[in-house]
Structure 1
Amino acid sequence: MPTATEYGNTPQRHFWMRGENPKERVVFDETTGIWNIYGYEESLQVMADTTTFSSVTSRLVPELKEFTEGGLTTLDPPRHTKLRKIVTKAFTPRVVSEMESTIERLAAELLDKVDGDRMDLVADFAYPLPVIVIADLLGIPASEREVFREWVDAMLSGTMDMSLNDESEEYKNEFARAIENIQKLNAFIGEHAESRRTEPRPDLLTKLVEAEVDGERLNNQEVVNFAALFLLAGHITTSMLLGNMILCLDEHPEQQKEVREDRALVPSAIEEALRMYSPFAAISRVTQTDAEVSGTKIPADQLISITLGAANRDERQFADPHTYDIRRDPNPHLAFGRGIHFCLGAPLARLEGRIAMNMLLDRFPHLRCDPAEPPEFLTIPNLTGPQKLPLLLTPEG
């Protein structure tokens, strides 16, 4: 069975997936006009310094302003601090913990539908599970989830790499399609959010609408942007995490055997899969002033890509960085970011991952990848994970 790095259908720019190291920790890409940060310490520096490195990327890509304004991932302090406090009042650890029985029930229902000696992990389980969980949490009716899926499928089918220099019609058209899908999603969520102001329900959207700090509440656009981010990023992260973890365990049968025999290893196996194949491979920042990273000077008003996937394979931070090790400790990976923008949904993704993996291991003692049908990876450069992962479920499958 070939490894994920040998399939040859991962995005070309994901050199770390092929076990390669960057030539430099900070590299300017003249083609795209973007600075790429590949090192671990360098990534920490950029994420920690919100004064020099702003999250308000719409300064350089104004077309995105409508969809990023008021969004937690695209704000700087002090506004970010205030909004995060408001959102945290709605999305509490208790809200996450109370989802455990629901996740178990939904995961069981999905696996009950699997019939025969094979399944596509993504289509049958890894994709629908987090969508249903988060839609249920937000209060989106089951009858409308398929509409959401169509928009997300369209978003994930692209191959566009962000560029400040590409003037081609192909790039403009793909960018326009991406914007159109975001608009549809935001309008869809906006209708639901607005209805919660007059008809509150026991769901997260209502909590977001009603939460306040120092007498201030989120406006409708802020509610929409957070809910859209939560729905998109939340389901994509968990879906890719499950697929990536199955790939890692399949590539290392001896470690899969250990995890099956000792389920206390599942959480650390999940963390190592997050490090090896970070679902969100890169995040963006903009320099507000002239800056220096690892001895490289970066002018003001430059777009920066913090390449988390490469940083999580930095040999200065991780011993044998291209080796999957379920007992790696410590494992301070950056898959969920770091600092003020650390992913709010990380506890939910970890909970879903733990429940789903245990259930898969329980139900399918012979689960393995199909050597005749290698996985197909997402083509979007900033995401890492399979969009198709055929599995065999029986010894003779």
Structure 2
Amino acid sequence: MVRTEVLERSLPSLVAWLERSRRQGQVHHDDRQRCWQVLGHPEVSAVLADHTTFSSDLGDLMPRQPDLDLLTRGNFVRMDPPRHHRLRGLASRAFTPRTVTGLAPRIATVTAELLDAADERDRDRLDLIDALAYPLPVIVIAELLGLPAADRPMFRRWADALFNQPDSGPDTSLPRLAEQAVRQAAPAVREMNSYLLDRIQAARSHPADDLTSRLTTTEADGQRLTDEEIVGFVALLLIAGHITTTATLGNTVLCLDEHPDAAAQVRADRTLLPAAIEETLRLRTPFPRLARRTTTDAALGPALIPAGELVVAWLTAANRDERMFPEPERFDLHRQPNPHLTFGHGIHFCLGAPLARLEANIALGILLDRYPDITVATDPPVRHRDPWTMVGPASLPLEVHPR
């Protein structure tokens, strides 16, 4: 059993709250949070699939702030068609499956280098987040974008400002939470915007063989991305892209530690590692919820949601819906099918999902090959992020024994 730091807002407490909420219906209005909670798998799938009724543009419901307004110009996660299709289509041309697959050798090299450095510091202990789970995806995505990997302490500070939000539990209304989040994140967003605009303008003037330079020249139907639009896209890849992989690496190690029989199966048959990653993504969903806004009166299950309402689609709850996942709390390496919604659904399905899966599979395979025995340490304890905002360890001390 993993001993972790006792937190008021732990993943088990969030799951317990979601299951209590489910008794009110898979779709119901939450007076305290001032939103509609959507908990069931088919209901969440319906919300994410219907971008016409359930808009991703929350501009009317969010407080306005100039720095965040600039950041959202190219953030197609927060857009609806046709603008979403144009921006995602242009971005996809520069972020192809071939590009992702071609990163595999570099991912393996960086993983080995980071673990070599960790072994030099201490052959018996390492913090997985500091040693591998954070730097690996940041180095890979920074190199892909043409950003200096040496700036990763600054990138981490930005991510913490965006995802470590106070008072994010069930007693806080979402409009109030949004106001708090904007105030907290604004200085980091301002710094990030300035940094990325400088890099984008330099790439436009002196293009190199990197994704940022390609984004400045990619064209479809005679249209190109503006510098301001590229800021939002690059920020999305840099921050959301790396933090998802960081969480997945840490969460998978936690799941294998909590389920030694499954860990033994994965060590004996490495072809089971992708299944272990998918089951981890289901049970420890990095981003627990997504927000939408109704554009018209919407029938969802037995509920009728008025137009202009905030709708929260809970991925964490959908991924534990027993109608879709028998014995949903069981970590099952052989769960087939495993239609979790961790990377979303519909037109907003995560563009970086293939890279996150590739990084996790390669890095965890190397980790298991290098260390025949991996145990989560009890002193110091694991530190977790607030699961209302992000599910994943902030630190994960391990006892390891290299071959």
Fold conserved (TM > 0.5)?
Answer: yes
Q: CA–CA distance in 2 between the matches of 1:13 and 1:79?
A: 39
Q: 1:17 to 1:7 in 2, by over 3 A?
A: farther
Q: For residue 70 of structure 1, report the CA deviation from its aligned partner.
A: 3.2
- Contact 1:46–1:53, Cα closer than 8 Å, also in 2: yes
Moved more, 206-215 or 23-32: 23-32
Q: CA–CA distance in 1 between the matches of 2:190 and 2:18?
A: 36
1:77 is aligned to 2:81: yes
Structure 2: which 5+ residue stretches go unaligned? none
Structure 1: which 5+ residue stretches go unaligned? none
1:335 is aligned to 2:342: yes
Alignment of 1:270-349 (within 5 A): 270-349=277-356
Pick from 95, 104, 129 the counterpart of residue 108 of structure 2.
104
List per-residue Cα deviations over 1:33-87 (Å, max 9, x = no partner): 1222111000011111111110101121142543323311011112211221111
Alignment of 1:192-271 (within 5 A): 192-271=199-278
Pick from 148, 159, 166 the counterpart of residue 176 of structure 2.
166
Q: CA–CA distance in 2 between the matches of 1:48 and 1:19?
A: 24
Q: 1:4 to 1:145 in 2, by over 3 A?
A: closer
Aligned residue type for 1:75: M
List per-residue Cα deviations over 1:249-287 (Å, max 9, x = no partner): 111101101101111111111111000101111111111
- Contact 2:163–2:390, Cα closer than 8 Å, also in 1: no
Q: CA–CA distance in 2 between the matches of 1:389 and 1:210?
A: 41
Moved more, 27-36 or 135-144: 27-36
In the alignment, which residue of structure 2 is the partner of 1:14? Answer: 14
Q: 1:317 to 1:4 in 2, by over 3 A?
A: farther
Aligned residue type for 1:269: A
In the alignment, which residue of structure 1 is the partner of 2:71? Answer: 67
Q: For residue 29 of structure 1, report the CA deviation from its aligned partner.
A: 2.3
In the alignment, which residue of structure 2 is the partner of 1:41? Answer: 42
Q: Secondary structure at the match of 1:113?
A: helix
TM-score, normalization by structure 2: 0.91
- Contact 2:163–2:389, Cα closer than 8 Å, also in 1: no
Pick from 362, 371, 378 the counterpart of residue 371 of structure 1.
378
Q: CA–CA distance in 2 between the matches of 1:335 and 1:346?
A: 9
List per-residue Cα deviations over 1:338-358 (Å, max 9, x = no partner): 110000000000000001100
- Contact 1:26–1:36, Cα closer than 8 Å, also in 2: yes
Q: For residue 239 of structure 1, report the CA deviation from its aligned partner.
A: 0.3
Q: CA–CA distance in 1 between the matches of 2:387 and 2:182?
A: 12
Alignment of 1:124-203 (within 5 A): 124-161=131-168, 163-166=173-176, 172=179, 175-203=182-210
Aligned residue type for 2:87: L
Q: CA–CA distance in 2 between the matches of 1:7 and 1:323?
A: 23
Q: For residue 159 of structure 1, report the CA deviation from its aligned partner.
A: 2.5
Q: 1:20 to 1:111 in 2, by over 3 A?
A: farther
List per-residue Cα deviations over 1:360-387 (Å, max 9, x = no partner): 1011111011134432111262211110
Q: Secondary structure at the match of 1:313?
A: coil
In the alignment, which residue of structure 2 is the partner of 1:88? Answer: 92
Moved more, 242-251 or 6-15: 6-15
Q: CA–CA distance in 2 between the matches of 1:213 and 1:174?
A: 35
Moved more, 292-301 or 247-256: 292-301
- Contact 1:249–1:256, Cα closer than 8 Å, also in 2: yes
Identity of aligned residues (%): 43
Q: 1:386 to 1:263 in 2, by over 3 A?
A: same
- Contact 1:16–1:310, Cα closer than 8 Å, also in 2: no
Q: For residue 388 of structure 1, report the CA deviation from its aligned partner.
A: 1.1
- Contact 1:370–1:391, Cα closer than 8 Å, also in 2: yes
Moved more, 181-190 or 264-273: 181-190
Q: For residue 7 of structure 1, report the CA deviation from its aligned partner.
A: 7.1
Q: Secondary structure at the match of 1:316?
A: coil
Q: For residue 91 of structure 1, report the CA deviation from its aligned partner.
A: 0.3
Aligned residue type for 1:52: T
Q: Secondary structure at the match of 2:299?
A: strand
- Contact 2:248–2:360, Cα closer than 8 Å, also in 1: yes
Q: 1:148 to 1:160 in 2, by over 3 A?
A: same
Aligned length: 392
Cα RMSD over matched residues?
2.3
Aligned residue type for 1:30: D
Q: For residue 31 of structure 1, report the CA deviation from its aligned partner.
A: 2.4
Q: Secondary structure at the match of 2:331?
A: coil
Q: For residue 127 of structure 1, report the CA deviation from its aligned partner.
A: 0.9
Q: 1:361 to 1:45 in 2, by over 3 A?
A: same
